[in-house]
Chain A
């Protein structure tokens, strides 16, 4: 409540309130399948019907949808509710994680507000897709690494890593974050680091196999460890073949920092009235985050890890950069077809780097930080209707989506 007494704190709090409203408002609209929901909802239906399914990804993400559809019904409400709840929980987790990483409640508020007011995250809280689940697990991991590395923490981290890999294979990007966290924890001996890493890896392995086997069992398929390996191998080979970059929506990773090809989840136009949801983010946050990423990397390269890790902000930045790089690596190192949504977890980590940088700047140039947050709020007000399906005039919409690739 103390934060509300300052202009910055009040504005950040209102951004969070607005972000929650943008996530909740009519999230079940349209009451039909949109974008890649046709893959994942169909997968979930197959699980519920105990039928084998040609899944594109491991089972956990679709099992979460199936559980919700069992409880709420096979409707847009049912298959989007998990994304909404996890999206809201992500706001809490990133707020806590940023506050603990930078040891500043204002950094936490900044992190939560920037994530709350960004269309990239809002759109993923409103659609029955898997990447929002991955972001939730990353946010949980970022909070985990702020605690001392005792054995129970290694067990929990292992469960989160195994679950993340079971949502999408790119969840393996968390490995770099946990490795960095173990290396940067100076209270640990090398033996303790090895022990924790071993426990984490073992738990992650069994979590992955256990959840995968449960999915296979529900689909009426063989469930042994061999079956899990065989199906994992099948999926990896399938993804390995997706290298043509011919889809209209593909975008190479260097373009993600602009971005040039955000996906429009749906656009309904009728007599000049448009209702749509795009994953285009908050441009003020987006472009500043891209610049901060470059600055943070150059800081680490110039001063070296040993120097940077010496400060609270430096250590937090190293952890966040390791998470961002971990999730970027699969797309940088391979020729796999890539889409802007593959950047979502990395973007979360980088937005928190920005939150830390703003918190640092706040003590030196408070007005600059306040002015920046004002710009973020204004951009959110301009683009908000396009993130949450609010009715808008078609000419207005086209004027906001001024880059050809955004339409």
Chain B
């Protein structure tokens, strides 16, 4: 009986470890993107994910979001949508006074995931049509311009 109990408890703990013991997938991490000043106006999306809103509704109407979601490609080549990156104090300060109109900088931010493999209409230019893409969405804070 004791042996069966030992095996039962072990299997239960194993199950718990495998299901719940793999850490928080939405825990804090760092994300790095490169941007130029024009990206603030060029990058856009339509809709809402995890409470973060894009600059446009799905029907194209402006949402007036204070920290709009925008699509970025990280330096590791992954497509992500981040809200309010250009509104972060350090980035906003750089955006107000870039060294050159086309200055490219790296931006490091602390990120917390809001959505995984989300389908979101995005575009990389103001005149372009929105196209659906699958991407991850993360909230950002404490951004640093390098």
Residues in A lying within 8 Å of B, measured CB to CB: 6-8, 10-11, 14, 269-273, 366-367, 370-371, 374, 377-378, 380-382, 384-385, 390-397, 399
- Is the pair A7, B31 in contact by a Cβ cutoff of 8 Å? no
Residue of A nearest to B82 (CB): A271
Q: Which of B18, B136, B138 has the most CB of A within 10 A?
A: B18
Task: Rank and list the top 9 A-B pairs by shortest CB-CB distance, nearest first.
Answer: A393-B23, A396-B23, A272-B29, A381-B14, A7-B3, A381-B17, A374-B10, A392-B22, A7-B7
User: Known contacts A371-B6, A377-B10, A397-B23: does B17 contact A271 (CB below 8 Å)?
Assistant: no
Residue of B nearest to A380 (CB): B14
- Is the pair A381, B7 in contact by a Cβ cutoff of 8 Å? no
A117 to chain B, nearest CB (A): 11
- Known A-B contacts: A393-B24, A394-B29. Give 18 more (CB < 8 A): A7-B6, A10-B7, A11-B7, A270-B136, A271-B29, A271-B31, A272-B24, A272-B25, A272-B112, A273-B25, A370-B6, A377-B10, A385-B22, A393-B23, A393-B25, A394-B23, A396-B21, A396-B23
Q: Is B91 positioned at the interface, with any CB of A under 8 Å from its CB?
A: no
Q: Is B146 positioned at the interface, with any CB of A under 8 Å from its CB?
A: no
Residue numbers in B under 8 Å from A394 (CB-CB): 23, 27, 29
User: Known contacts A370-B3, A381-B21, A395-B23: does B14 contact A272 (CB below 8 Å)?
Assistant: no
Q: Is B11 positioned at the interface, with any CB of A under 8 Å from its CB?
A: yes
Residue numbers in A under 8 Å from B28 (CB-CB): 272
Q: Is B61 positioned at the interface, with any CB of A under 8 Å from its CB?
A: no
Binary interface profile of B, 28-62, with partner A (CB < 8 Å = 1, else 0)? 11010000000000000000000000000000000
Residue numbers in A under 8 Å from B78 (CB-CB): 270
- Is the pair B10, A11 in contact by a Cβ cutoff of 8 Å? yes
- Is the pair A374, B6 in contact by a Cβ cutoff of 8 Å? yes
B2 to chain A, nearest CB (A): 8
Residue numbers in B under 8 Å from A272 (CB-CB): 24-29, 111-113
User: Known contacts A270-B76, A374-B10: does B3 contact A393 (CB below 8 Å)?
Assistant: no
Residue of B nearest to A371 (CB): B6
Residue numbers in B under 8 Å from A374 (CB-CB): 6-7, 10
Distance between Cα atoms of A7 and B76 in the complex (Å): 48
B36 to chain A, nearest CB (A): 23
Size class of B's contact patch?
20 to 34
Residue of A nearest to B5 (CB): A7
A22 to chain B, nearest CB (A): 10
Distance between Cα atoms of A10 and B126 in the complex (Å): 63
B67 to chain A, nearest CB (A): 18
Residue numbers in B under 8 Å from A271 (CB-CB): 29, 31, 80, 111, 113, 136, 138
A380 to chain B, nearest CB (A): 8
Q: Is B13 positioned at the interface, with any CB of A under 8 Å from its CB?
A: yes
Q: Which of B15, B25, B26, B112 has the most CB of A within 10 A?
A: B25
Residue numbers in A under 8 Å from B3 (CB-CB): 6-8, 366-367, 370
- Is the pair B29, A396 in contact by a Cβ cutoff of 8 Å? no
B30 to chain A, nearest CB (A): 9
A401 to chain B, nearest CB (A): 12
Distance between Cα atoms of A10 and B23 in the complex (Å): 29
Residue numbers in B under 8 Å from A14 (CB-CB): 11
- Which residue of A6, A370, A378, A396 is within 8 Å of B22 (Cβ)? A396
**21 A-B residue pairings within 8 Å (CB atoms):** A14-B11, A270-B76, A270-B136, A271-B113, A271-B136, A273-B25, A273-B113, A377-B10, A377-B11, A378-B13, A378-B14, A381-B15, A385-B18, A385-B22, A393-B24, A393-B27, A394-B29, A395-B24, A396-B22, A396-B23, A399-B23
Distance between Cα atoms of A179 and B113 in the complex (Å): 59
Q: Which of B23, B112, B113 has the most CB of A within 10 A?
A: B23
Residue numbers in A under 8 Å from B4 (CB-CB): 7
B43 to chain A, nearest CB (A): 18
User: Known contacts A273-B113, A377-B14: does B21 contact A382 (CB below 8 Å)?
Assistant: yes
- Which residue of A371, A377, A392 is within 8 Å of B23 (Cβ)? A392
- Is the pair B13, A381 in contact by a Cβ cutoff of 8 Å? yes
Distance between Cα atoms of A393 and B80 in the complex (Å): 18
Distance between Cα atoms of A396 and B10 in the complex (Å): 21
B40 to chain A, nearest CB (A): 22
B29 to chain A, nearest CB (A): 4
- Is the pair A395, B27 in contact by a Cβ cutoff of 8 Å? yes
